[in-house]
Homo-oligomer: A and B are copies of this chain.
Amino acid sequence: MSDTNFAAVEELLQNHRAKTEARVDMLLPENGRLSDSVVHAARHSLLDAGKRIRPLLLVEFYKLCGGEDECAYHFAAALEMIHTYSLIHDDLPCMDDDDMRRGKPSCHKQFGEATAVLAGDGLLTEAFGVAAKTVGLPVERILRAMGVLSSCAGISGMVGGQIIDLESENKQVQIETVTEMYRLKTGALIRAAATIGCILAGADEDLIEAASTYGEKMGLAFQVIDDILDFESTDGVLGKPVGSDEKNHKNTYVSLLGLEESRNIATQLTNEAITILERFSGDTNAIADLTKYLLSRNR
């Protein structure tokens, strides 16, 4: 892929970031209520931060399957709200105990633990309300997509991955356990993004299935690259403390398989994810370029 493609991906990311930003800003306003402080804390973690990969994927798969851009943005915002809640709770002292996130103090560092717990709870709860308020699409699709959102974020998905992560700390585990943890902790929400995009657009079942497999592979690649970055990056570039995996005695692809093997796996998964895109008849260049871009990211 040429540098030109990278520039196009960065423009796409920037464009999507602005749209997601505007949408969540509108959906979660501070409006002079007694409960505004929890909104303020949620907005601290939600706005002006993050790559917005998940909402971008959701909207791009939606467009790939013939959907009209604007209708899917409520779900895109809901997905980012769920991702953000998971970061807030993950950073808590009783979890990973991280002070920095997305280049800013983590939510509990800035507002205290209790407010951070509630900001996370609020974002998770409101996300489903935002999704339920999607307009312009058949209600059957919205309901099915909400089911996917719940199962990918819940105990069979992200929350399940978090508990495996927690229980693997300070223990020697097999690569299979780490893979299952990544599949749930990071992969599930990326899989949700791709499949929900297809579901909302009314795609055929085989395409929804293809999107799910793409998300599975791309999500795993994404997390393996995160491991590599955590191992070798510097604080300033990553926006969060590096080496926190090592600090927390976490089992990662890098700690179990080494840097080179991890890089090879990430590259292979990326290539497999891109190959799956061939099953779609539309223009998959934007998603393919994004997938390659994420492999070579430095943050």
| A binding-site residues for B, Cβ under 8 Å | 28, 33-35, 37-39, 42, 85, 89, 92, 94-95, 112-115, 117-118, 120-122, 124-126, 128-130, 132-133, 139-140, 142-144, 146-147, 149-151, 153-156, 159-164, 166-167, 177, 180-181, 184
What are 6 A-B pairs at a CB distance below 8 A? A35-B161, A37-B167, A121-B124, A126-B150, A129-B147, A139-B140
- Chain B nearest CB, measured from A128 CB (Å): 5
Contacts of A35 in B (CB 8 A): 155-156, 159-161, 163-164, 184
Contacts of A156 in B (CB 8 A): 33, 35
Contact B118 A166 (CB under 8 A): yes
Number of copies: 2
Partner of A159, one of B113, B118, B140, B163: B118
Determine the residue in chain B with the shortest Cβ distance to A112. Answer: B94
- Chain B nearest CB, measured from A111 CB (Å): 10
Contacts of A167 in B (CB 8 A): 37
Determine the residue in chain B with the shortest Cβ distance to A126. Answer: B154
Q: With A122-B155, A151-B129 in contact, do A117 and B117 touch (Cβ < 8 Å)? A: yes
A119 to B140 CA separation, bound complex (whole angstroms): 29
A130 to B125 CA separation, bound complex (whole angstroms): 14
Contact A117 B95 (CB under 8 A): yes
Contacts of A166 in B (CB 8 A): 114-115, 118
Partner of A155, one of B39, B153, B161, B180: B39
Contact B177 A38 (CB under 8 A): no
Contact B114 A160 (CB under 8 A): no
Q: With A128-B146, A132-B147, A143-B143 in contact, do A38 and B117 touch (Cβ < 8 Å)? A: no
Contact A163 B37 (CB under 8 A): yes
- Chain B nearest CB, measured from A161 CB (Å): 8
- Chain B nearest CB, measured from A6 CB (Å): 36
Contacts of A125 in B (CB 8 A): 124, 150, 153-155, 159
Interface centre among A28, A89, A94, A153 (most CB of B within 10 A): A94
A85 to B117 CA separation, bound complex (whole angstroms): 12
Q: With A35-B184, A128-B146, A154-B129 in contact, do A163 and B95 touch (Cβ < 8 Å)? A: no
Contacts of A161 in B (CB 8 A): 35
Contacts of A162 in B (CB 8 A): 118, 121
- Chain B nearest CB, measured from A141 CB (Å): 10
Interface centre among A92, A122, A132, A164 (most CB of B within 10 A): A132
Partner of A128, one of B34, B142, B150, B159: B150
Interface centre among A42, A114, A153, A180 (most CB of B within 10 A): A114
Contacts of A112 in B (CB 8 A): 94
- Chain B nearest CB, measured from A81 CB (Å): 11
- Chain B nearest CB, measured from A196 CB (Å): 13
A139 to B133 CA separation, bound complex (whole angstroms): 13
A163 to B117 CA separation, bound complex (whole angstroms): 10
